[in-house]
Chains A and B, each alone.
Chain A
């Protein structure tokens, strides 16, 4: 399978816990994006990497959120001290030029 993969697919956690999600992009893609999507809404941009450099971050990305892309390959998104409002689908996308290809997402539920 040469598509974007994300792990885990589902995560249930208690409020206040930390969670980390992983994204493996399409192998030749140098650009990687993270989005958050809540029910009935379109994906909201969180952050963007070109190779290992994090070039843009949304105002939505509070200081509890951090993303990394070591060596310009896979990426991780960590949420510290989770809140119920963090419950959402977290989507990763990668691209070589402009068109982004999405992974299946990680659905987070914070109890």
Chain B
């Protein structure tokens, strides 16, 4: 069964303290892996799409990487405005997307 697991569930960082969020997946035929940011009460905001193992994407303080079994979202020198829930989603064969439960990130000034 296609499954997406994110860890940790919650993460508290001091401002400037770099860390990584993990998304592990088991799907039959990965067509794409997606990272989103979601603020409370809002819809998910697109961050990155990764298609194949070894691929990396960067945007400001965020960097996403992909292996055959997992993806990491690295956050370098985070700021309080990076506080949000980060969601990972995978697209297997077909058009269904499977989301993880997210990592709630809090960055303390």
Contact surface of A with B, Cβ cutoff 8 Å: 4, 6, 31, 33, 40-45, 48, 50, 55-56, 58, 91, 93, 98-105, 107
Contacts and interface: CB of A to CB of B under 8 A. Distances in A.
Given A102-B43, A102-B45, A105-B42, A48 B101 contact: no
Contacts of B32: 98-99
Nearest to B94: A56
16 contacts: A33-B97, A42-B87, A42-B99, A43-B44, A50-B95, A56-B94, A56-B96, A58-B96, A98-B31, A98-B49, A99-B49, A101-B46, A102-B43, A102-B44, A102-B46, A104-B43
A40 B96 contact: no
Given A42-B100, A98-B32, A48 B46 contact: no
B99 A43 contact: yes
Nearest to B34: A99
Do most interface residues of chain B lie in helix, strand or loop, or is the interface mixed?
strand
Interface string B22-53: 00000000011010100001111110010000
Contacts of B87: 42-43
B: contact size bracket: 20 to 34
Given A6-B43, A48-B95, A105-B41, 9 more contacts: A31-B95, A33-B97, A43-B99, A45-B98, A58-B96, A91-B43, A91-B44, A98-B31, A100-B97
A42 B101 contact: yes
Interface string B66-99: 0000000000000000000001010100111111
A100 B42 contact: no
7 pairs of A and B residues whose beta carbons are closest in the complex: A42-B99, A102-B43, A102-B44, A98-B32, A105-B43, A104-B43, A43-B99
Q: Looking at B46, B91, B100, which has the most chain A CB atoms within 10 Å of its CB?
A: B46
B101 A107 contact: no
Contacts of A33: 97
A28 to B, nearest CB: 16
